[in-house]
Each structure stands twice: as structure tokens, then as C-alpha cells.
Chain A
Amino acid sequence: MITGVSRRTFLGLSTAVAAGAASTFLTGCGSSTAGKGEAASAKVKLPSYIPFTKVKPDLAPSSKGLSAGFLSYPKELVQSIAKTPGDGSKVTLLTEIWTQPPLPKGTNDYWQKVNKELGIDLTAILGTDPGYEEKFPAIVAGGDLPDLMWIPPNQGLQHIAQLLEGKCADITEYVSGDAVRDYPNLAAMTPAHWKTAVVNGKIWGAPSPYPALGQVYGGNPRIWDKADGFSASSTDEFFAKCKEVTGGKVWALEPIYSNAVSVLSQCYGSPNKWAREKDGSVTFWMESDEYAEALNFVRKLKKAGVFYPGDPKMADAYLKMAQGSIGAVVYANPAGARKDTRTNDPSLAAEILIPFDADGHKANAHYHAFGTIGYTAIKKGSEKRVRMLLDVLNYLAAPFGSKEREFLEFGEEGSDFTYDKQGFPQRTKKGKQQVEGLFSGLTTATTSPFVLAPSLFPGTHGADDVRDIYGVEQKLIETAIPNAAVGHYSDAYTQYYGRMSTEANDLINDIVAGRKRMSEWKPFWSEWGSKGLDQMKKQYQKSLEQNP
């Protein structure tokens, strides 16, 4: 499932993706491609946006990124695919799973059914998190390239542009503009989704959709009830509430300081990673006064002792929240927060902190995320072969409410799933062993644009969860601001961003923990100006001017 992506990746993702266009981040090795990518990426004609209208959601989506919401399961499932996409040949897929692995092909009935439905003989290489960033280059270096490869934006894969140009199929002419009508399920992706899959002015694959809203604090209501709920209207109130709930073996916040600064900087009105000023120049959020103020606020929170006393890299903070020793944890998006708490404890519903106005500051804001976790590229081949593989991806992108989607997500009724009292499919034990893991891998490759459906949330409160999260999304969308660099290209970014973000993260940890002074923050950034940041800003500005 889409929000099943582990938290670790979530977070990495929101930094990497949001900090620069996903495609740009990947476009490896700086100097050798310098200059070429920037101009070319600006010109491509993206596929037409033809939303799927045969199933009407109960809660309507919006073009700004609000998710469609379903409160009940559609009574009549529609057919979204006319004929079997495959030609019976062997297809290998390199992807990542976010669950337990499925039973292997030989003993997995569902796998055989997928093969039959898709008309292929599927071999799936299932990576895990962490580990994909090692698996991917090893497989690529081995020379025997899979037919379909998921290319994530956030795992530090290098030289993707060269890999694509050398070994992968340019699908621009098959999907650009109205050509995408041949693949109706893929046509339901928005231009924002497609932008992820553009490198060097060509489209390289099917996007992997993901919720469009960004990082939020999800809180355990049992802890925050004591302080009148997990909300605040000022920094003072938030500070006081954090102090109020901290005590004994309970701490208000997880100790992942960089995420705390990131989420709370929304309250101060800092830019969403990269911003375009009125005069056309580009600025970076960490340089802004607003971000520095948020950092200072987090430093104060740390001094007040409201952070859990642990490692800023701790991996089990979300479990500690479900157990009641941490009050709030940063999640990649609201749906992910609610899903995670329901998974750990079905009676626990994460409350989402809506960014508040920090005192004396302009309106709060929410950081829009990107809406995808990369894309799946296709190995070079004859037009017939590439189009067949596109048909397969088109099947995988079957929308919620279609027969194909139900089959992919749940398998066959009776053996893999049964309908519960409210009419939602629930996997049987066999379905969990056979379907869950493989579906996780297929859905990473590509899937339909994100929708809120009760089945996303374990337990029996699914419909309430959809309403709650839809409500939260509505509130967040009101103040959501975009990241100006999304869909734009900077060679300097791919070359220097890894180092810059590691050093900035070290410094944030040092300042918050009191090992370095707040006064070292600004000089750090003026120094980075000449070490690559100015170059990134200039390149983004140029790209934005060419394609506003």
C-alpha cells in the first residue's frame, strides 16, 4: 500500500524530493552532463491529463493535491482494461517492498494469477529498505538489466541520466500529449506526477504516485488529551503543552531534531525548500530568517527537556509513540501517520498537528510534497516490446473501484480475500502471505494516483479515518505552498547537495544539542554560498525563467 512506505524512507524522501525535482536529483555526475539537462528538461510536452471518471469518490479531489476519498467500497466494480496486456513473454521487474516478502513464485498461487491476468511470466527482484541503493547499482553493473526498473528519487543513486540514455527506452513519443490515450490508466496521472519521470527532456517511465501532502507531526491523543489535544495557536502554547505532557517516562517529541525544525519552520512561514522571490531570484529555506527562528525554537524545546532522550537517528520512535512514551512523531504525510498508528494499535488514531502562527509571524504554511516516489523505467527494446511493457504498467495503474485494482490489491475472492460486514475486501491469511508482499512491490513500480480509502487503515474505523484525514488535508491545503524547484534541473544540486545536507544536518544536531552555538548557523550558509549553493540557485533560476 502506498502509505506503507517505511518511515525512514518517507523522511529521506521528503527531504530529497522536496529539495529539488526528483529527476534532477538523480541525474548523476555533475560536470559530464553539465548544462545539457537544464535546457532540455524544460521543453518536453507532458502527457494529457485525462482523469478516471467511471467511479465517483464520496469526497472530491482537487487539482491542488487534495486526495479523493471513498467512504464505502464501490458496489459495482468497473473494468479498466480491455484486453490482456502481455504477450506471454518473460518480464523482470526490479522494485522495492515495504512489507514482509511474499511467498516465492513457485509456491505462490497469486503470483501465477498475476501472470495469467497480465499475460506475462513475471520475475520480481524485490529490494528492501534499507538496501535498495546497494541492490540497484549491483544489478545495473551486472549488465543484465531488468525489463522494468523502479528508480526512486531519494536513495542517492548516481548517474541515472547516463543509465537512462544508454540502456532505457525513451517513451516520450508513446505518451506525450494525447498519445497517452492509448494507456488510459496512465493518463489519469497529473502533469505533476509525470514531471518526476522527465530527465534530459524525455519521458522515461510511469510515475509511482504518492500522497501530495507533506511532513506533519502525528500525535498520540492519549498523551495530548492531558493538555487539551494536540493543537496550538502559538509557539508559547505549543511549548507549554509539550512541557505539560512531559514527565515520568513520557516525552512530548521524538528526538529527530532536523524533522522537528523542518515541520515547525512551517509555523514561521519559511519557504518550502526552494522559493522564487519577486525579482526572480531563488532562495533556499535553510538560509531564511524564518528557518533560523524555527531552529532556535527547537533548541529551546530541547533545553526544556521535552524531546525523548535518545539518538537523533532512532528508528523505533513510532513504536514508542504507540506504546505511550513519546507524544508525537514526524510522518511523511497525514495518511501515513494515521495508518501507522492504526497498524501498531488499531484503537489508536494519530492526531495531526496543523501548523499554527508562530508569534508575530506571517501566515503559517504547509509544505506541499511531490506526489510521487519516482518512476519505473523500461529497458530499451523494439517498439512492440516497449509498448507491451507500457500496457503492463497501464494495468498496474488501474484505479480504485476497478476490477483490476481489486485483483491486484487483494487477489481472488474466497481464497485470498473476503468482504467484511461493511463490504470492504479483507485479505485472508493466505492473502497476507501471498498477495501483500507482491502487491507492495507492484504498487511501488506504479499505481493509480493516491486515494483515501477505508481499507488503507487497519481496524474498523476506516471510514472515520478517511473523513478525518480528508479534513486534515483540506486544512493543510489552504496554506500549502509549493517548492519552486520541483520539475527543474540543477547540475550543482546533484553534485553538492549530498554533502551540503549532511553537513547541515550535523550542524542542526549540534546546535539543538547545545554543542554549537546558534550564531554558527548563518556563517555556515554564507560559506556554502561559494561552495555550491549559489550555483544551485542560479541554475534553478535559469530553468524557472525558461519554463515558468
Chain B
Amino acid sequence: MLALMAPGLLFFAVFFYVPMLGNIVAFQDYQPFIGFKSSPWVGLANFQELFSDPAFWESVRNTLAFAALQLIFFFPAPLALALLINSLVSSRVKKFVQSVVYLPHFISWVLVVALFQQVLGGAGLISNFLRDHGLSALDVMTDPGTFPMLITAQVIWKDIGWGMIIYLAALANVDQSLYESAAVDGAGPWRRMWHVTLPAVRGVTIMLLVLRLGDVLSVGFEQFLLQRDAVGARASEVLDTYVYYHGVVYGDWGIGAVAGLVKGVVGALMIWGANRLAHAFGEQGVYSK
């Protein structure tokens, strides 16, 4: 048994736990060429610099705003879609719709953004139509005001089908006789959903929510990098792009590592808190007590 686990353990050790030691960079004026050993130790100077950088707080604010929007609009969307598809009778239609809606998950962000540009951009389909009819063109791809809505819409379009799969699996496990007995007792479709379907997916939903909360500060990377110039850094900088620009582009490895570390600590706290909450509701969460 232990031997069977070894490859998995090794994977986590090599790709997750060993790299965590690299967080030492957060306390150094790190230069890759001279390495961990010779880079000068600077204590908490990187933390001080990070927390006094207004651009960092701007990225925190953006990240939290995008995370909230994703939690409100994106998180329940796959469940809703799963319920809808589950209610379809024809299994052929069901399979077809399922395939179509989860395909966008496999499209890279570069193409997703290009597609949105082609449709919603200033020279895109809708703008050209409006212009042909003497109306003013659409500006949603370059408007920092509507940017949070735009990116949430992009996330939903891209990943709603992918997120739906796990709910569909949970729904497939619901005992059909429960529906029959509920129907016999006179429950209509809404009551059946409320009393049978939703309780069946409650555990999965809460587990996903806990996992999502732990990862809540990862709102995306390429999506923001690609659209940064169109709406400006102020509207689009999130923690991950901040880490990228400061760590990789500017060569401030220490600052980048601190920002990443802060994000990791917040994520761990969120998991812990959300899991406590799940236990309080009598659910298992991601791990039990």
C-alpha cells in the first residue's frame, strides 16, 4: 500500500513541498546568479517595501473585487447549468449540450480574449453593426469601469461547462425512487428540487466552496496580462500579475516572493476558516476533525 502511494508522495514532495523552501527569497535581496546561499539577508525589508507600495494595495483591492464577483456570479453558475441539463429528457441532447458547453475550457485565454475582441471590441461584430446603423460603437473591451463585469463574463463563458461536470456526477447519484416518492406525496418540480436535488449536492457544493475560498486570491493570470494594456494597469493588476511584474520583469525577486507568500498565507487561513464553517454546518468539508 505504502509503495503504491510513493509516486504520489514524491510528486507532492518534489513539486509542492521542496519549492516552498524557496520562500526564503522573501527575506533576501535575491539574485538568481549568485543563488540562495550568497544572496544578502535583508530581514523584513521586502515586507516593508511591499506594504508601502500603493500599487500592491491596488492589486489587492482588484483581486478582492474580482474574487467577490466570481464567487457571486461564477460559483453558482455551473450548478444552475447542471440542474438545467439534468432536467433534459433526451440523453442525446443532453450529451450534445454537455460537450458544447465544456469545450471552451480547452481554449486558451489568448483565443478567448481574441474571440471577445472580435465580437465586443471597438471594431468587432457588434460595433460594426451599430456603426452601420448610425449608432455609436461599443467600448466594453477598453472601458476600465465595466472591466470587472467583462472578466467575470469571460470566466463564466469559458469554465461554466467544466465546473458543471462534478455536479452532474453528484446528480447522477441521486436515488430516483426519492423523486418518485416525493411525486407521490404531491411535490411539484420546485419542491422536488428543493427537497431532493439540492440536499443531494449540498456536500459537494460546500466542499467546492471551501476549496474555492482557499484559492480565492487566484483570480486568474493570463486573462489579466492579456487585457492589461487595453484597460490600464490600475484596473487590471491582480496579485498574480503583480508578482510576475515585480519578480520576473523587474527582477525584484524578493518583493515578488513576499507578495506570493502573503497570498499563500491568506489562502491557508481561508481554507481553515471555511472548513471550520463547514463543520459548524455539520458537513465534512475538505478534511474532517
A contact set with B: CB distance below 8 Å: 28-32, 156, 158-159, 162, 248-249, 251, 308-313, 325, 495, 498-499, 502, 506, 509-510, 513, 515-516
Contacts and interface: CB of A to CB of B under 8 A. Distances in A.
A512 B17 CA distance: 46
B251 A509 contact: no
A30 B29 CA distance: 12
A502 B234 contact: no
A407 to B, nearest CB: 39
A31 B39 CA distance: 11
B249 interface: yes
Given A29-B31, A311-B141, A499 B117 contact: no
A159 B142 contact: no
B250 A502 contact: yes
B233 A32 contact: no
B76 interface: no
A261 B127 CA distance: 27
Contact of A499 (B227, B228, B230, B249): B249
A309 B249 contact: no
Nearest to B33: A159
B128 A498 contact: no
Contacts of B180: none
Nearest to A249: B128
Given A495-B251, A509-B232, A510-B234, A311 B33 contact: no
B104 interface: no
19 contacts: A28-B33, A29-B31, A29-B251, A30-B251, A32-B33, A159-B33, A249-B123, A249-B128, A309-B137, A309-B142, A310-B121, A311-B141, A312-B229, A313-B230, A499-B252, A502-B245, A506-B232, A513-B142, A516-B232
Given A162-B33, A515-B144, A313 B229 contact: yes
A353 B182 CA distance: 78
B199 interface: no
Contact of B33 (A29, A310, A312, A313): A29
B41 to A, nearest CB: 15
Contacts of B121: 309-311
A29 B245 CA distance: 17
Given A32-B34, A159-B33, A506-B233, A308 B123 contact: yes
B122 interface: yes
Contact of A498 (B127, B139, B142, B251): B251
A91 B251 CA distance: 33
Contacts of B123: 249, 251, 308-310, 325
Interface in B116-152: 117, 121-123, 127-128, 131, 137, 139, 141-142, 144
Interface string B88-117: 000000000000000000000000000001
A503 to B, nearest CB: 8
Instruction: Determine which residue in B137, B226, B227, B232 has the highest number of CB atoms from chain A within 10 A of its CB, and name it.
Output: B232
Contacts of A516: 232
Question: What are the 7 closest A-B residue pairs judged by CB atoms, nearest first?
Answer: A309-B122, A499-B250, A312-B229, A159-B33, A506-B233, A311-B230, A313-B229
A158 B33 contact: yes
B273 interface: no
A210 B105 CA distance: 43
A513 B147 CA distance: 15
A271 to B, nearest CB: 25
B128 A159 contact: no
Interface string B227-245: 1111011110000000001
Contacts of B128: 249
A309 B124 CA distance: 9
A114 to B, nearest CB: 35
B230 A312 contact: yes
Contacts of A28: 33
The main secondary structure of chain A at its interface with chain B is loop
Contacts of B131: 248-249
Contacts of B235: 515
Given A309-B123, A312-B229, A499-B250, 9 more contacts: A30-B31, A159-B31, A249-B131, A311-B121, A311-B141, A312-B230, A313-B229, A506-B232, A510-B234
A159 B250 CA distance: 13
A189 to B, nearest CB: 30
Nearest to B235: A515
Contacts of A251: 123
Contacts of B33: 28-29, 32, 158-159, 162
Interface residues of B, number: 30
Contacts, number: 78
A248 B117 CA distance: 18
A64 B65 CA distance: 55
A325 B230 CA distance: 19
Contacts of B43: none
Contacts of A30: 31, 251
A310 B32 CA distance: 38
A30 B40 CA distance: 14
Given A32-B31, A249-B123, A325-B123, A311 B249 contact: no
Interface in B177-205: none
A510 B232 contact: yes
Given A32-B34, A158-B33, A513-B142, A310 B250 contact: no
A159 B32 contact: yes
Contacts of A313: 226, 229-230
Contacts of B249: 156, 498-499, 502
Contacts of A29: 31-34, 251
Nearest to B236: A506
Given A158-B251, A499-B249, A515 B232 contact: yes
Contacts of B137: 309
Contacts of A159: 31-33
Contacts of B245: 499, 502
Contacts of A510: 232-234
B280 to A, nearest CB: 44
Contacts of B251: 29-30, 158, 495, 498
Given A29-B31, A32-B34, A509 B250 contact: no
A11 to B, nearest CB: 13
B279 to A, nearest CB: 44
Nearest to B139: A309
A327 to B, nearest CB: 13
A493 to B, nearest CB: 12
A310 B131 CA distance: 15
A509 B229 contact: yes
Contacts of B250: 498-499, 502
Contacts of B142: 309, 311, 513
A354 to B, nearest CB: 29
Instruction: Determine which residue in B32, B121, B131, B229 has the highest number of CB atoms from chain A within 10 A of its CB, and name it.
Output: B229
Contacts of A156: 249
B254 to A, nearest CB: 13
Nearest to A509: B229
A95 B250 CA distance: 25
A510 B230 CA distance: 9
B184 to A, nearest CB: 59
